[in-house]
Amino acid sequence: MPRKGCGVCETLANRSFVCPNCLNSNVLSDRRQHLQLLQKKRDALLNRLNELFERKKVQREQELERQRLNADVENEAMKALAAQKELKRVKEEVAKLRQSNLSRRTHNEKTQAQLVSTRADMLSNHFPTLLRYQSLTYSHVSAMLLREQKLKLKQLLDILPLRITGLKSGGGSAIQISICGLKVPDSVLAPLTGWQQPEGVSASLGYTLLFLDLMANYMGGPLLHEGSFQGSTTVLWQQQSFWNRRPLSTSAVLPLYLEDSAPGGTIMPSMSSKKSSSPWAALPLARGLSSGEKSMLSRGGSSAADVNPEKQKQNADLFRAFDMLQRSISCFVRDKAVPFNIALPPTWSPVGWLVMLCATLKKDARTEGVLSAASCLTEEGGSGAGPTILWDDVALTGEGNDSGPDAIGPPGG
């Protein structure tokens, strides 16, 4: 069989191939194929071995995780068992304490019943005179206190005369009130024509504050404010606490006065240039208008946008001061109206309630008749503004037909 190869190898008959190509293609081809087959088998076995190793590794990790979880389960089981034992012990202690408390409660109830029975026996058999004496003493002291309060109220009304100047029919308060000859306004919203006497309105607000402070001091009633009476430049504020009567801040001192009114009824309160003894009179006032106060100003004839920011702050402070005064009067009168059974008309202003309280304390029939007529006007007047009935004055001054200092009423009957 002739050999196949290059020309040199073919000329060399019966000799080994010389060139590498002929040697590889003829002599080593079978061995190469066998080696390639073995290499493929080796690679397949190696891949399978690697897969087995990976599976073994995953199994080992899973086994470790299983062992860890089993250990955790055993620990949690031990903890649960310990907690169950502790719960059982606590329940037993609670049951013992409940039984002990029940026994003590039964014993205390029996002891209290015996004490009540003994006390009732002692009070009924041994101390009737002492109880009667204490009751009479309390009644006498209460009567003396009420008499002193009425006397102080008479003196207060002599110094700060609170008068009913007329009756009004329609909605709102049915009486017109003045203090020290100055009309007390129902609102600080200026009329369309402006305030005719702004200093008089400011002074009436100041005298009202002074009257309320003194009456609360004599009668022992609650007030929601602290104030500094300065005539027509009075200020008030909300105290920090019961023990600290100072204001929360300098801007918390509110002016209870006005000095002028701009066209359209816009109020322009400002700090007075007069010197005052109050340490809070000269403090700056910085506060803005709320939405409700802006709407009130708009109903007064001009919008809040027509007023500069400083005037808006002053207007807001005045509204807050007047509202604080009204709420203080309402709180004081409602606190005192309960023991005297005074029915307060819901549509009247707080100052009208204050007049009713003074009339009740002084027991003046004429003024009470005027107030009854005003109540009838309130019930029958409807929502519209009605006519105003004026007379000289109904004075709460103690001059009248009753005996002693309790007489109040219009002059001349």
Strand order in the sheet with 385-395: 182-183, 175-179, 162-170, 385-395
Q: Phi and psi for 139 in degrees, rounded to 5?
A: -65, -40
pLDDT given at position 312: 82
Q: By the 8 A CB rule, do 410 and 167 touch?
A: no
- pTM of the shown model: 0.53
- What is the average pLDDT score of the chain? 75
Angle CA 392–393–396, to nearest 5? 160
pLDDT grade for 1, boundaries at 50, 70 and 90: very low
Q: By the 8 A CB rule, do 190 and 172 touch?
A: no
* Other Cβ atoms within 10 Å of 304 Cβ, number: 20
Of 380, 391, 389, which Cα lies nearest the Cα of 170?
A: 380
Of 219, 290, 314, 302, which Cα lies nearest the Cα of 263?
A: 302
In order of 155, 198, 353, 355, the CA distances from 175 in angstroms are 23, 21, 10, 10
d(CA 339, CA 333): 11
Q: By the 8 A CB rule, do 187 and 205 touch?
A: no
Interval 10-53: pLDDT, tens: 666 555 556 777 767 766 777 778 888 999 999 999 999 999 99
Give the pair of three-digit tokens for residue 134.
Answer: 């204490």
pLDDT given at position 371: 60
d(CA 47, CA 53): 10
Interval 70-117: pLDDT, tens: 999 999 999 999 999 999 999 999 999 999 999 999 999 999 999 999
- pLDDT over 70 at 384, yes or no: no
d(CA 263, CA 268): 11
What is the average per-residue pLDDT within 354-382? 67
Residue whose pair of structure tokens reads 């009329």 in the numeric block: 191
Residue 293 pairs in a beta bridge with none
* Residue predicted with more confidence, 339 or 1: 339
For helices 350-362 and 365-380, angle between their N-to-C axes, nearest 10 degrees: 150
